[in-house]
Amino acid sequence: MGRYEEAKKMYGDLGVDSEAAIARLRKIPISVHCWQTDDVGGFENTGAALSGGLQVTGSYPGKARTPAEVMADMDVALSLVPGKKRLNLHASYAIFEQGVFADRNALRPEHFSPWVDYAAARGVGLDFNPTFFSHPLAASGLTLSHPDPETRRFWIEHGIACRRIAASFASELGTSSLCNIWIPDGYKDTPADRLTPRLRLKEALDEILAEKLPGVIDSLESKVFGIGLESYTVGSSEFYLSYAAKRGDAYVLLDNGHFHQGESISDKIPSLLAFFDKLPLHITRSVRWDSDHVALLDDEIKEISKEIVRNNADGKVLIGLDFFDAGINRVAALVVGARSMQKALLYALLMPSDHLKQLQEAGNFTEIMALTEDLKTAPFGDVWSEYCRIEGAPADGGWFPVVRQYEANVLSKRA
């Protein structure tokens, strides 16, 4: 009997069908972000440095510099990740043919047609994000809440343009596109007026979201603070949650690095599922602050996955990745993060969730503790290896040599 067959029997004895777990995992898409490949650089070349409370650290060689290099790096990463994938883009990754530049408020679907061709050829959907940072008109740290009407108008037009681009993705690729709004707006020190900026943000969002666009899933992403925005952020969790609930046609996106240290988003998931039919996520790993470290198979990502699986929310929770580390091989970072997310989902799928719920209803907490502890030493890795085999992706230990060879042949030759 092979290792997987032994693992299958052991899980079967615990009331878990490993075949069903693998089949379910194969249907859950992970939206992989392009901005890990080039340190959130994009292709605008406006001269604006990375801003908005964001910071990428490290100087590992091999950073992608062109659309072709980003796409090549993404191809390698996606080939090493089993399961269903999507591609997540920022507006700053528009591709301008013959050097004809369009500012962010003038972006059009044709500026992303190479990305649509890329996605269509690989059978993946596209998700999208307006880029409200790293631009001269975002230098003050204010965009949609800016007191200057002209500056605010520029960013409103950008948001409207991005939603229309997302609609074009959905139409051309035949799958919905998540259009996620995150803004860096806030103040370094305690503000004299917390309400007025939020009222301006509310009015701006009303205008951006006014147009009904088929195929677009709108989401709003909060954040506790950023560098230079330590005391106050306009787009707080309470603001966006209230706004989305009031509208009824937008959703809140939870980024597990955007809350207080020690605050867990896994507990927020079932609360939001009680009221919303969709819940977008950005998976990262925070170390002391929203440091956007590469996602690993840690306790929080496991708990997030358990809440998705045990609540049968596979079709409701939209999982995306969001991290950027310039201190390590950037392609490897994508592979590690995506595979870690899938491992966490498989770990959750290999739990007898229905039985555990029944034990809770009966008040049998001792048996819950004993069973969940026993599951920690179950042969999860053997089921993961079988999943990789079915998907035609390398098992653990088999993918890193591919990245190392790609680094030697391609990445090391980039200036």
Q: Tens of pLDDT along 326-359? A: 999 999 999 999 999 999 999 999 999 999 999 9
Q: Give residue-wise pLDDT tens across range 383-407.
A: 999 999 999 999 999 999 999 999 9
Check whether 53 has a pLDDT greater than 70.
no
Catalytic residues: 182, 221, 223, 255, 258, 282, 290, 292, 322
What one-character DSSP code corresponds to residue 295?
A: P
| CB distance 314 to 308 below 8 Å | yes
Chain centroid to CA 373: 30
For 28-349, which CATH superfamily applies?
Divalent-metal-dependent TIM barrel enzymes (3.20.20.150)
**Where are the domains positioned within the chain?**
28-349
Check whether 245 has a pLDDT greater than 80.
yes
Beta-bridged to residue 254, according to DSSP, are 281
Chain centroid to CA 306: 18
Express as a percent the part of the chain with pLDDT over 90.
92
d(CA 226, CA 184): 8
The closest of 398, 405, 411 to 82, measured between CA atoms, is 398
What one-character DSSP code corresponds to residue 399?
A: S
d(CA 376, CA 16): 14
d(CA 255, CA 218): 15
d(CA 18, CA 351): 10
Beta-bridged to residue 320, according to DSSP, are 31, 282
| CB distance 166 to 177 below 8 Å | yes
d(CA 283, CA 340): 10
pLDDT at 98: 78
